[in-house]
Structure 1
Amino acid sequence: MIDTLQQRPLLVAGVDEVGRGPLAGPVVAAAVILDPENPIDGLADSKKLTEKRRESLALEIKEKALAWSICRAEVEEIDQINILQASLLAMKRSVESLSQQPELALIDGNHCPELDCAMEAIIKGDSKEPAISAASILAKVARDNEMVEMEEKYPGYGFAKHKGYPTKQHREAIIKLGITEIHRKSYAPVQQQLNL
């Protein structure tokens, strides 16, 4: 007799975050449980895909995945507990928000959040594990879209273009226009402006 419990595949969630480096905006994490019966072609590290491809894959992931969720840690939380802890908090929230709880979470990077399931941290996991790739795509599309909206709220900073990352254009805008409520005050280039 075959032990059916042994045959049952684990519910595996891929988890990734986007937005550790920017000077502005939240850090966004996603968790995805892919459906082995409904594969998605072309999953890869979100940074290696074109914006158009990411957008279409994000829609496909939301349609085909067994479960997915997108969560965040706010700028205030980043400033209070530091970006690493805020990233782990966003990841924890994304896993806990899934409609089905995974038995194993594959986390991109070398740190794991506190979760009630088995975990494995995988360096460069977004290019090795399809579920992590899917999470990186959802997180990046969600965060990029939010930063495009911030362009309208805070014109002149170029958020739609650089998404809050410390480009020359962004650093010059901070000096010229000052900081906004979505800037991370614990980050050096923003702190310098505060101390002027």
Structure 2
Amino acid sequence: MTQLHVLPDLSLDQLFRKARTVHAFQPVPVSDDTVRQLYELLKWGPTAFNAQPARYVFVRSAEAKARLLPAVSAGNRAQTEAAGVTVIVAQDSQFYEHLPSQFPAYNAKPLFESNAQAAEATAFRNASLQGAYLILAARALGLDVGAQSGFDAAAVNQAFFADGRWKANFLVNLGVADHQATHPRGPRLAFDEVAQIV
């Protein structure tokens, strides 16, 4: 029987069991090299038709943060300002333009080019998946993570995506945590409450 290759407990702890949602950050920058390493990991996560509809804006400069912060809810503003970088995870409404090169199995572009509803659903679902891959890749690289949906998406779109092609999905703060402000871990539902084996 084939043996599964399970990651060591240290890795599982870093990715899941001991990882926390962070609400405060130390003033430690996140370098260009780390941002690029992050993308080089997360890009391998699977998406439907290998469509890769997520787009990422790494908001790090004072000028870019000043554009973002007015769109962030009051309760999330301090952590967003303090984070080494805040990622706007967005989706490209015309992701299907890349399908000929990214999904050469057959011509899937017309499936989405002529069906706005399918394109929107596929972009949102798969960009959300890619945002989750970003969170896990960031944790794998030793970054602390605070994802958030407490922001005005329309305002972010106006400030960063005025042409309307990209649309903000959610924000992810990355950096080094100030654990003095880390909340106690919340409980999780038990397997039998949320899952079935049929």
Same fold by TM (over 0.5)?
no
Give the TM-score of the pair, scaled to structure 2: 0.28
> Which of structures 1 and 2 has the larger relative contact order (alpha carbons within 8 angstroms, sep 6+)?
2
Give the TM-score of the pair, scaled to structure 1: 0.28
